Structure 1
Amino acid sequence: MWSASCAFGDIDNDGDVDLYVTRYVNFAPDNIKICTLFQNVRSYCHPNVYSSVPDILYRNNGNGTFTDVTRESGVYKAGNGLGVVFGDYDDDGWIDIYVANDATPNFLFQNKGKGVFEEVGLWTGTAVGVDGKPLAGMGTDMGDMNGDGLLDIFVTNLGGQTHSLYKNLGKGLFADATFASGIGEATLPYAGWGAAFFDYDNDGDFDLTVANGDVIDNAKLLRNDASYEQVNLLLRNDGTGKFTSVGPASGLGFALKKPSRALAVGDLDNDGDLDIVVSNAGATADVLQNEGGNRSNSIFVRTVGSRSNRDGIGARLKLSVRGKILVRDVKAGSSYLAQNDLRVHFGLGNALRADRLEIHWPGGPVEVIENIEANRILTVRQGEGAVRSVPFGFKQ
């Protein structure tokens, strides 16, 4: 089988992380097919040429081994999975799973409790595009784009389709906000892969960055307007969930044209803002170092679990600053074939401290820390509170 992205999350709140692996198609050396388009131009086969396959969910046994629970957990459903992200979209304390599928409807697996799932993509409004048809889903991420405390969903698709943004309305329903948010116009020409919600300018709201590149290297022969090498996108959020492309004004890194694929974000130099790493097909990776985000203040939080998993994966953090509540999750796996910095980042704007931090540990009690100084990396150990606080740039 052809596996793709994976992600970790504690599906049953038993304190250890379980593993979800997407699988693309039923592809093997004995069923390779040769595909062409007009005039015998070489092309990759459409995924529908092969049969779709279910993804795999492994439950952690707590002793270093895993058990395949795909069927009994309710996620045994055929699709062409490429991207996956864990996130508690309905805020019920049980982590859910979203899967970006290529040319088949996307999956939203709602956790009904103790790791038993129901697929609810179609009736929640997150399975297809605005025209009701499946899109070519590649990468995905979840994040609160408009500050209402609810996780919204972003999905990258092939060029000519636009990438998708699903706005969480609460009560288990989503609205397609692709065009209302500005995402549609900004992404229409591009084939997207990796993507991340992140706050690059430290103003407290989630912006977006996307890795783009066409699927096939002879794309020009197939479409005159196509290009294998494409620029990547930086989409700035105005705080209400409206996005504007600002890549051209944000440095030479966003002027590069390459066949980009995976993308991850994290503070590589510990200076208080988020940098970007992008992998490219057949080329070296690019590191885009953020040199302006730290003009505003921020806080990073490293979670260390005790009763829950070691890294606190699946914890939900709520930071109160100047009457605004910022919601962030500790995630292990999202985007496309990528893993972001596990430390949780909060942009504070010009605030010099945060009033209150709530950490909702997976399956455990809420921990509260108050009066947190800005521009520091805070380590919180479950049950013990803040055990370390160092300024940005601190060297051991």
Structure 2
Amino acid sequence: DYAWLPDQLFENLGNGTFKRAQERGFSATAGPTMGTIACDLDADGDQDLLAVSDGAANRMYRNDRGQFVEAALEHGVAFDLKGTANGSMGVDAADITGDGLSEILITTYTQQLPTLFENSPGAFFSDTTRIRAVGISLRPHVNWAVGLMDFDNDSDTDIFVCNGHFLRNADVLPEVTRFAVPNALLLNSDGRFAPNSDQQIETDQPDASSRGAAFEDFDNDGDIDCIILNCGSAAQVLENTTVSSGNWLEVELSGTTSPRMPVGAKVSLIAGDRTQSRELSSGRGYQSHCGTRLHFGLGEYDEARIKVSWPSGIESDVAEVDCNTLIRLVEP
């Protein structure tokens, strides 16, 4: 047990120092925060904040012109479908449905399902965990960091989840779990994430009690790898050796009018009749930060069109980009 404290916002002054900015809407709320993410949840062009809580209502801070309004209940992300305040741990956001809006996946405590909140215009979220068949195999375990990425380059979003209890003697508990258990990779099959045998991660490294995870194409071979932070044991580097089902593109952005690292920029990639979108974020999930490249699986397509909405409001458009390459785009 521990005392709840208000979430805190520190404003970057641009000279290597920060100041507290509680007056922007954070002084009146407190909770047992575990994971956080900053992204444009309501599609209005600025960064909102989501703080997920261990056994209490989640909090969504909607950014209204630099002032933050706590509106999790209004937008449907405070509780799950049954109105339960789960033991929320980690969180990630990505456009899973292909409509340009960010969905949210929150990992949870043992004997609870991770919660998938599906976004609709106006940032009204619905719990579609059961419809999308998310996480039945994860229910026995405590889930921590989560990554929503295309791990097999087939042009849809998959799910990676870190698992592990915090009690070393968890095997004597009735939850049917252990301190060290396998992590999970759930591949997207037509919008569902049922854990078939070929959808589980295979690794030659021992089971551990994992916590944080960073996802990036670390070896520059066109697929997403993973570095995992473990509790009480060494970190693990997992190289993705999946037999790829498709082509890929990676996008690296550099701002000019926008900040050099243009957090909040949105990239839409159009290949054939399919449009994917990803947002550049900084720090997300649980004890985690991913790289600044945006990775897209293309499936069978060998070229794509790339549109960028920069934080400054500038739009850019690059056509006929060849597949299987890293492209660096500078804000015009």
What does residue range 274-289 of structure 1 map to in structure 2 within 5 Å? 274-289=224-239
Equivalent residue for 1:78, pick from 30, 38, 42: 30
Q: Are residues 1:300 and 2:250 paired?
A: yes
> 2:120 maps to what in 1?
169
Residue 377 of structure 1 and its aligned partner are, at CA, apart by: 0.5
CA RMSD across the alignment: 1.7
Which string of whole-angstrom CA distances, capped at 9 and with x for unpartnered residues, describes residues 343-363 of structure 1?
000110011100x21111113
Secondary structure, aligned partner of 2:284: coil
User: TM-score, normalised on structure 2?
Assistant: 0.95
Secondary structure, aligned partner of 1:318: strand
Q: Is the 8 A contact 2:37 2:91 kept in 1?
A: yes
Hey, what's the Cα distance between the residues in 2 that align with 1:256 and 1:210?
A: 16
> 2:101 maps to what in 1?
150
- Give the letter for the 1:360 counterpart: S
Structure possessing the higher radius of gyration over alpha carbons: 1
Secondary structure, aligned partner of 1:56: coil
Secondary structure, aligned partner of 2:137: helix
Residue 237 of structure 1 and its aligned partner are, at CA, apart by: 1.1
Secondary structure, aligned partner of 1:123: helix
Secondary structure, aligned partner of 1:122: helix
- Give the letter for the 1:268 counterpart: F
Residue 254 of structure 1 and its aligned partner are, at CA, apart by: 8.4
Q: Are residues 1:238 and 2:180 paired?
A: no
Q: Are residues 1:96 and 2:45 paired?
A: no
> 1:375 maps to what in 2?
324
| Distance of aligned partners of 1:226 and 1:63 in 2 relative to their CA distance in 1, 3 Å threshold | same
- Give the letter for the 2:233 counterpart: A
> 2:90 maps to what in 1?
139
Equivalent residue for 1:327, pick from 257, 274, 277: 277
Hey, what's the Cα distance between the residues in 2 that align with 1:357 and 1:173?
A: 28
Secondary structure, aligned partner of 1:196: strand
Q: Percent identity?
A: 32
Hey, what's the Cα distance between the residues in 2 that align with 1:249 and 1:206?
A: 13
- Give the letter for the 2:68 counterpart: F
> 1:362 maps to what in 2?
311
Aligned length in residues: 331
Hey, what's the Cα distance between the residues in 2 that align with 1:68 and 1:85?
A: 18
Hey, what's the Cα distance between the residues in 2 that align with 1:250 and 1:164?
A: 19
Bigger Cα displacement from structure 2, 251-260 vs 198-207: 251-260
> 1:69 maps to what in 2?
21
Secondary structure, aligned partner of 1:186: helix
Q: Are residues 1:318 and 2:257 paired?
A: no
Give unpaired runs (5+ residues) of structure 2: none
Hey, what's the Cα distance between the residues in 1 that align with 2:160 and 2:303?
A: 27
Q: Is the 8 A contact 2:186 2:200 kept in 1?
A: no
Hey, what's the Cα distance between the residues in 2 that align with 1:229 and 1:50?
A: 25
User: TM-score, normalised on structure 1?
Assistant: 0.80
Which string of whole-angstrom CA distances, capped at 9 and with x for unpartnered residues, describes residues 290-339 of structure 1?
11254521000111112222222211101111021110011111121111
Q: Are residues 1:107 and 2:59 paired?
A: yes
| Distance of aligned partners of 1:310 and 1:157 in 2 relative to their CA distance in 1, 3 Å threshold | same
- Give the letter for the 1:237 counterpart: N
Secondary structure, aligned partner of 2:136: helix
Hey, what's the Cα distance between the residues in 1 that align with 2:248 and 2:198?
A: 25
Hey, what's the Cα distance between the residues in 2 that align with 1:184 and 1:264?
A: 20
Hey, what's the Cα distance between the residues in 1 that align with 2:193 and 2:322?
A: 30
| Distance of aligned partners of 1:224 and 1:373 in 2 relative to their CA distance in 1, 3 Å threshold | closer
- Give the letter for the 2:229 counterpart: S
Hey, what's the Cα distance between the residues in 1 that align with 2:200 and 2:104?
A: 25
Hey, what's the Cα distance between the residues in 2 that align with 1:224 and 1:96?
A: 35
| Distance of aligned partners of 1:298 and 1:223 in 2 relative to their CA distance in 1, 3 Å threshold | same
